[in-house]
Amino acid sequence: MIDGIAMQDPGVRAQLALIVTGQPTTVALKQPAAPNPMGTVITTTTTKFDQPPQGILQKGYASVLWTAHDDNDDELRYAVYFRGENQRVWLLLKDNLDQKFYSWDTTTMPDGAYYLKIVASDGQSNPPNASLKAERESERFEVDNTPPAIEKLQASAAGVNADFSFTAVDSTSSIEKVQYSVDGGDWIMLAPAQGISDSKTENYRFTVRGLAPGEHTIAVRAYDRFENVGAGKTTITVAGTRN
């Protein structure tokens, strides 16, 4: 029986613990449901010890953890399948796993919503005509590796002030945050025109005041919910004579 499945946050990779120098920062993994609700640990002389995985941040990766048990204490092997939200056919992602987690590079998959299916088999401990399988589907999850686009970036100067407007667009997920920078300076947060950033398309307007005469470069960047970042820039000339 597969007791629980836990999809991890985007950009988290699960792996066996390694002691190496310069290892990326670890993150806590979401744990699936325990095999026994009361939390009782059942041990036998043949119980296999599963080394728990650790999580690290690695952009573009997706990870899944699951729990499973067999009342006969048979050795279990697992296969991971996936399908798109609007597809019916399950495609094999990985088979013959003896560990209860799997991570993969999602940059090989088109952006969109998906489901996983975990299939457990006790074929390692039984003849073919007596082996059994169990399966369980995951919750819906999204893959998004495409950065937002900066569109319609426009500027107009009025004396020492300049007005800017643009649109941030993402095809898969909502815009998370947007910033601008003047002449390579610090990045400054921007709020969308409607005040709350919760849509795939957000409009922005802002004014930069007190610009010195001459040419200035304004850069903007937008992050989506998956930390993909898209950028754009424009230049504007403020009339006048430098001191």
Q: Are 207 and 161 a contacting pair, CB within 8 Å?
A: yes
Which residue type is seen at 238? V
Q: Look over the chain and give the mean of its residue pLDDT values, rounded to a whole number.
A: 88
Q: Classify residue 122 as left (phi > 0), alpha (psi -120 to 50) or beta.
A: alpha
By C-alpha distance, which of 205, 154, 147 is closest to 176? 147
Residue 49, pLDDT > 50, answer yes
Give the pLDDT score at 56. 93
Where in the chain are all domains bearing CATH 2.60.40.10?
2-143
- Model confidence at 45, pLDDT cuts 50, 70, 90, reads very low
Give the pLDDT score at 77. 93
d(CA 96, CA 120): 9
Choose the CATH number for 2-143 among 2.60.40.10, 3.40.50.300, 3.30.70.1020, 3.40.50.620. Answer: 2.60.40.10
| Phi, psi (rounded to 5 degrees) for 106 | -80, -5
CATH for the stretch 149-238: 2.60.40.650
pLDDT tens per residue across span 153-186: 999 998 899 999 999 999 999 999 999 999 999 9
Q: What is the pTM of this model?
A: 0.81
Residue 166 bridge partners (DSSP): 204
Q: Are 185 and 178 a contacting pair, CB within 8 Å?
A: no
Residue 136 bridge partners (DSSP): 118
pLDDT tens per residue across span 73-119: 888 999 999 999 999 999 999 999 999 999 999 999 999 999 999 99
